Amino acid sequence: MARSSGFLDTLLTSPTTERYRVGISLLFLLGVWLTVGSFSQGMPNSMLLMAAAVIGGYMAINIGANDVANNVGPAVGSGALSLGAAVLIAAVFEAGGAIIAGGDVVSTIKGGIIDPSNLEESRAFVWLMTAALLAGALWLNLATWMGAPVSTTHSIVGGVLGAGIAAGGWGIADWAVMGKIAASWVISPVLGGALAALFLFAIKKTVLYRREVIPAARTFVPWLVAIMAWAFGTYLMIKGVKKIVKVDFLEATLIGLAAAAVVFFVMRTLVGRMASTMENSSAGVNTLFTWPLIFAAALLSFAHGANDVANAIGPLAAINDALSADSVVMSANIPLWVMMVGALGLAVGLMLFGPRLIKTVGSEITELDKTRAFCIALSAALTVILASQLGLPVSSTHIAIGGVFGVGFLREYLKSNYATQLHKIMEHHDPAEQERLKPFLDDFRNASVEEMENLLKRAKKKKQVPLSKSERKRLKKIYREELVKRSHLVRIAAAWIITVPASAIMAAILFFTLRGLLI
């Protein structure tokens, strides 16, 4: 099993397989073209419907390639899942969420950002949705190539906005809604990052910073995993399966509490059994979060497939209905073939192109272990719940990436905080004892973040010798090591900011091009 998983990991990341990925994608899109062509033959505008179906499939591929990293990236980066296993789990649950809970009807205008009643004819509406879909897909393709995880919802919103303005003028847009979407650029990552950092700090204080971590873990870890079970139970009810089962927030919360109670007793038993063989360190505690992270990756993928598949199939369903009824539609029924295009496209994009961004989210922004990844997954579910109840616009992509940056910046803060305390203690000792400092410095330099507080306590208790000026500079240099890659922060933030305007401009250009070609 380990050998086959390693082979799959190598296959997914090998540069030599890039042409095969592109080839398989083209075969999938050709299959969409031929399938739609087979049942639309003889229908009016069948060629336009076939082209729209291919574009919808292309959009679904790019959603799978870009967005899935948020769901499984932390689990892969922490070592809870291999890349191959993560891709397989996510592909199954993304497609399952899209097919099972993707819904029968979708809004044709994502978020109500334009008023299609301003359009003079249904043909302009078809061109608008086609241009929006293609622009969103092209922008996602470019962002994935750059290694920047962006919001697929914002990509299609920008496409609809740009094509809508090109079709009906500036008055067609609802700028109040666009203002809320712009606010989500700040709200989503800040909420996600703050909650992830808060949970990580709580775990450090209650478990990892204790001298005896095993008793602390037996007490607190079952509660932490139960909180995650409540969050995901509630999250799935209000977001993941809302198209199947209609429940209010109170009912969703009670279902989440029932799941949390079961998980608490299961985890308490498991932690008790593992305690006898578990290492009395942060590494030992990390092993307790492996299965919760695997379940979190699967459930996040299911909820994502149920919700974000609409970014690909919503415009396609609208085009299908508009061509059939020869009128502008505000909501569209989803035929089975449209749903399958979205579900299979998500899985294809994820398996072929997802590993690039999974690595970016999981290991290139900051170093993740299972405890940090657990906090990111928990913050993602809680932020969506909190935002939905407060009526705040949020992006699941921005929440997850905000969580990654949040735990990274907390690690940096804790390291610099320890260094400051150490300097204050050391400066009061006799310089003549500097020779005793060398062993301490060797230990300090090689210490993990979790071990630094224990070293600080021993230094204070044993009255360690102070640091010389050159030694203080040396220690400060060690602490100035970046635990969060600023280059990734700048690139990702820039991609978020320009997503809506970039896809809007492309959509406007594509709309005028399509209108010129088809009139």
Give 320-376 as a DSSP string.
HHHHHHTS--SEEE--HHHHHHHHHHHHHHHHHHHHHHHHIIIIISS---HHHHHHH
pLDDT at 321: 82
Q: Closest Cα to residue 243, out of 314, 158, 191, 138?
A: 314
Whether 30 and 149 share a structural domain? yes
Task: For residues 355 and 234, state if they share a domain.
Answer: no
Total of domains in the chain: 3
Q: How far apart are CA 86 and CA 358, in angstroms?
A: 9
Going by pLDDT thresholds of 50, 70 and 90, the confidence category of residue 454 is: low
- 39 and 164 belong to one structural domain: yes
pLDDT at 429: 46
Under the banding of pLDDT at 50, 70 and 90, the label for residue 8 is low
Can you say whether residue 103 is alpha, beta or left, with left for phi > 0 and alpha for psi between -120 and 50 degrees? Answer: left
Residue 222 CB neighbour total at 10 angstroms:
21
Distances (CA, A) of 107 to 77, 153, 318, 406: 36, 13, 8, 34
Within a domain: residue 211?
no
Same domain, residue pair 113 and 86: yes
Is 262 a domain residue? Answer: yes
Co-location of 255 and 338 in the same domain: no
- Same domain? For 262 and 303 the reply is no
Would residue 490 count as lying in a domain?
no
Structural contact between residues 187 and 383, judged by C-beta atoms closer than 8 angstroms: no
Residue 319 within a domain: yes
**What is the three-class DSSP state of 95?**
helix
Stretch 139-158: mean pLDDT: 87
Task: Give strand ranges (E) for 43-108.
Answer: 105-107
The pLDDT of residue 425 is: 47
Query: Which tokens belong to 88?
Result: 């397989």
My answer on whether 349 and 268 are in the same domain is no
Q: Counting Cβ atoms within 10 Å, is residue 263 exposed (0-12), middle (13-18) or buried (19+)?
A: buried
Q: Is 442 a domain residue?
A: yes
For residue 468, name the pLDDT band (cuts at 50, 70, 90).
low
- Per the structure, the complete domain to which residue 235 belongs is given by 220-278
**What's CA 418's distance to the chain center, in Å?**
31
Mean pLDDT of 424-447: 57
Residues 89 and 154 both lie in one domain: yes
- Contact (CB, 8 A) for 255 and 233: yes
Highest mean pLDDT of the ranges 307-311, 356-360, 478-482: 356-360
Give the residue, 284 or 461, on which the prediction is more confident: 284
User: How far apart are alpha carbons 354 and 210 in whole angstroms?
Assistant: 39
Does residue 488 form part of some domain? Answer: no
pLDDT digits (tens, 9 = 90+) for 30-72: 999 999 999 888 777 788 889 999 999 999 999 888 887 788 8
3-class SS at 187?
helix
Q: 356-376 burial, b if ≥16 CB within 10 A, otherwise e? A: bbbbbbbbbbbbbbbbbbbbb
Using a pLDDT cut of 90, give the percent of the chain over it: 23
Under the banding of pLDDT at 50, 70 and 90, the label for residue 104 is: low
- 41 and 147 together in one domain: yes
Same domain, 259 and 355: no
User: Long-range contacts: 324-332, Cβ < 8 Å, 24+?
Assistant: 325/122, 326/122, 327/122, 328/116, 328/117, 328/119, 328/122, 328/125, 329/108, 329/125, 330/107, 330/108, 330/109, 330/116, 331/105, 331/106, 331/107, 331/108, 332/105, 332/106, 332/108
pLDDT in tens, 316-372: 888 888 888 777 766 667 788 888 898 899 889 888 888 888 888 887 788 888 999
